[in-house]
Amino acid sequence: MKRLLPLIALFALAGCSQKYDLVVYGGTAAGVMAAYSAAQEGLAVALIEPSARIGGLTTGGLGQTDIGNKQVVKGLALQFYRKLGAHYGNLENWVFEPGVALNVLEEYLDHPRITTIRGFHLADASKDGTRITGIRVASGTDTLIFSAPWFIDCSYEGDLMAAAGVEYRVGREDSSEYGETWNGVHMLHGHQFPDGVDPFVDPGRPESGLVWGVSDQTLAPEGSGDSLVQAYNFRICLTDSLENMVPLPKADNYDPARYELLARLYAAQPSKTRLTDYFIWSRMPGRKTDINNHGGFSTDMIGMNYAYPEASWEERQEIIKAHKDYTLGLLWFTANDPRVPETVRGEISRWGLPKDEYCETDHWSPQLYVRECRRMVGEYVATQADCENRRVAPDGIAMAAYTMDSHNCQRVVVCKDGKYMVKNEGNVEVDGGLPYPISYRSITPKREQCTNLLVPVCCSASHIAYGSIRMEPVFMVMGQAAGLAVSTACRKAFTRVQDVDYRDIVHILETDPYQDGSAPDIVIDDPEIGDVPGWERRPVYCSYGRSALICRDPSAPAVFSTTVPKSGTYDVYSYQFKPIEWLNPHTLLELSTGEKFDFDASAVQVAGQTLSAWHYLTAVRLRSGERFSATFRSDGGPSQTIADAILLVKK
């Protein structure tokens, strides 16, 4: 049964401090997992969310999950995507509606040891030496005070971290600082203007001034560090269901001059006449969307978020509203301005706001995509070397695998062949290595600064490494790890989060990942079976984990086997790929229980970013101590046979 705010408010408004074992600030998906994880270990937890809605981007429109590699999604994060899968009738769902995600996360908070406080933002924090002793949160003229021996900052902004005097960075490091090549200033081709788009109000006349959205700053040398922040946007949820549609509104302060560059972009690209040429328009269940930035001028409001990291609560609300007005204006411009190709206007006219989403905020997401804000400088700073597997953190409590990804940071004027033109700067999308560990020390402050705070969202990483880490599933795993770190510190009577042994966290994540005593999945990945004659182990970007086996000898089998620890009925899955450029697999598979399967890539159903998924085979009854195996073979034909991983999920 949930504890309600009015009860505690009676005491706190009277000046009493509410005492908990742990206070989690920021009700993002990571915050929910941190609170639930600690509560499951017996701690009394207060979760404070500044807005009225929990879940952050996970419930705020980002339904097209950024995964990188499914191996990195473990523990409560994986359970969350399994719960979504149960809703939609699948094992897992990586694409989903905002409201469905909200309902699932609310289930985690319906916990007897969690008190959820909404609508109160951080006002200040008090410290005694290196320990936070309490925080004060505010909503209008009302304030609440909380004290606890332990705190976790799961906000996208790192407000508690900053209030506690912990060192942090805003912006991009110079590439030379950590020996990186993709940090700092970079002007690349992704999400870029073609040559020749004029930046001046009156084309060809610099004295007329710059059009809206173009900076007057001079472009710094490549790799230079600065304080610029990559662009924010809204992940837009629309619907084409007439029964569930509210027409797109026109912003009160709509100004077509803001979209002059977009009109010029259309003119410069006459062959691009589809809606998807200017937006990433991802379909979600329920006839809905997750719309993201695409191209030179889209949903990213480049250069308009620089003040956000250090802004007051009130100033941030103004910045968020400016982004909302810009985005609604962009949609209105696209649907109505005659300079937009008729085909594009026709396509967008079919869409509107969903009646059944964000009902309390006029069907528009209240969550701005704060891609990057403050970043802690902790005891371990993750850098490009981690992303590229050139350095391996020995104390990993989570994994990341996404591209080193930064959206554009500024829109500037450049001169090329004697002609002035507009260009975007800051977009980087570079593949790193394979899944890599995130150090426990990347979520701990330096011990001389703060000893009872963990920071899993605004974690310790360089700008370009943060671009790989900053994915919602990874944040959730790190949130759970933070909750487990606090419960471990309590159990062992530690006084500093820095004293927690990461192996205690990993042990629980591996043996009781859902923290409810249920049997963990059994995954047999290809590295576990060693070298296989007639098969080549290769890094494959769409594999489960770091590699997959490629068949070179059609007569040679590849046997994946394990000893089952608990008796029961298990659902069996094989990790399979969709057809890609060099791969169209046809696989023969036989289980030790006698079942045989013959399927090709066309049978694999994959939704979302990845090109691979768990393919259901059968349910088997197994006894404790029984040896189970799955044997892959080639059919001897021209198709490529791949053996990657086997999954057993206990019913």
- State the average pLDDT over residues 444-459: 98
582: confidence class by pLDDT, cuts 50, 70, 90? low
Task: Quote the CA–CA distance of 324 and 119 in Å, as a whole number.
Answer: 20
- Which among 127, 202, 118 has a CA at the least distance from the CA of 162? 127
Question: CA angle at residue 239 from 233 to 245, to 5 degrees?
Answer: 115
Q: How far apart are CA 458 and CA 378, in angstroms?
A: 10
User: Is the separation of the CB atoms in 377 and 447 below 8 Å?
Assistant: no
Which pLDDT value is given to residue 578?
Answer: 77
What are the tens digits of pLDDT across the range 69-100?
A: 999 999 999 999 999 999 999 999 999 999 99
From residue 244, how far is each of 134, 216, 234, 286, 355 by CA, in Å? Answer: 45, 44, 21, 10, 5
Query: What integer is the mean pLDDT of 161-168?
Result: 98
Q: Indicate the pLDDT class of residue 289, thresholds 50, 70 and 90.
A: very high
Mean pLDDT on 447-469: 98
With bands split at pLDDT 50, 70 and 90, how would you rate the model's confidence at 512? very high
Residue 607 has pLDDT above 90, yes or no: no
User: In the chain, pLDDT over 70 holds for what percent of residues?
Assistant: 97
* CB contact at 8 A, 13 and 6: no
Sheet of strand 642-643, all strands in order from the earlier edge strand to the far edge: 535-538, 548-551, 642-643
SS3 251: coil
CA angle 534, 72, 379 (to 5 degrees): 125
Residue in 230, 232, 224 with CA at minimum distance from that of residue 409: 230
Rounded-to-integer distance, Cα 398 and Cα 79, Å:
15
CA distance 157 to 31: 13
Per-residue pLDDT at 160 exceeds 60: yes
Confidence of residue 601 (pLDDT cuts 50, 70, 90): confident
Q: What confidence category does residue 4 fall into, taking pLDDT thresholds of 50, 70 and 90?
A: very low
pLDDT at 597 over 90: yes
Query: According to the model, what pLDDT value does residue 2 have?
Result: 36
pLDDT band at residue 381 under the 50/70/90 scheme? very high
Residue 346: per-residue pLDDT = 96
Query: 322-360: per-residue pLDDT in tens?
Result: 999 999 999 999 999 999 999 999 999 999 999 999 999
Categorize the per-residue pLDDT at 433 as very low, low, confident or very high, splitting at 50, 70 and 90: confident
Q: What does R_g of the chain's alpha carbons equal in angstroms?
A: 26
Kindly report which listed range (369-383, 474-488, 580-594) carries the lowest average pLDDT score.
580-594
pLDDT of 171 reads 98
* Burial track 281-300 (b if 16+ CB lie within 10 A, e otherwise): bbebebbbbbbbbbbbbbbb
User: pTM of the predicted model, to two decimals?
Assistant: 0.96
| Integer Cα distance of 32 and 242 in angstroms | 34
The pLDDT value recorded for residue 580 is 67
CA distance 94 to 77: 11
Nearest to 65 by CA among 86, 88, 92, 91: 92
List the single range of 215-229, 441-455, 569-583 with lowest mean pLDDT: 569-583
609 band by pLDDT with thresholds 50, 70 and 90 = confident
Give the three-state DSSP class for 174.
coil
Structural contact between residues 6 and 433, judged by C-beta atoms closer than 8 angstroms:
no
pLDDT at 583: 64
**Element at 575 (helix H, strand E):** strand 568-577
User: Collapsing DSSP states into helix, strand and coil, what is residue 616?
Assistant: strand
- At 14 the pLDDT is 41
Question: Binning pLDDT at 50, 70 and 90, where does residue 605 land?
Answer: confident
User: Tokens 């995507």 appear where?
Assistant: 81
- For 475-486, the DSSP string reads HHHHHHHHHHHH
Pairing outcome for strands 522-525 and 645-650: antiparallel
- Report the first-to-last Cα separation within the chain, whole angstroms: 27
Number of neighbours of residue 574 by Cβ within 10 angstroms: 25
pLDDT for 6: 40
Average pLDDT of span 627-634: 96
Q: What is the DSSP string of 497-544?
A: GGGS-HHHHHHHHHH-TTSSSPPPPEEEEGGGG---TTEEEE--TTSS
pLDDT at 581 over 70: no
- Asked if residues 12 and 18 have their Cβ atoms less than 8 Å apart, the reply is yes
156 pLDDT tier (thresholds 50, 70, 90): very high
Task: Provide the mean pLDDT of the chain.
Answer: 94
Domain residues of the chain, as ranges?
Answer: 242-361, 522-650
Domain 522-650 belongs to what topology? Jelly Rolls (2.60.120)
Strand residue runs (E) in 337-460: 353-354, 375-376, 396-400, 404-406, 410-416, 419-425, 428-430, 436-439, 453-454
**pLDDT of amino acid 15:** 57
Over residues 35-50, the mean pLDDT reads 98
Write out pLDDT tens, residues 95-134: 999 999 999 999 999 999 999 999 999 999 999 999 999 9
Percent of the chain scored above 90 by pLDDT?
Answer: 89
- DSSP characters over 375-410: EE--SS-B-HHHHTTSS--TTEEEEE---EEE---E
Cα distances from 130 to residues 23, 58, 96, in angstroms, run: 17, 33, 42
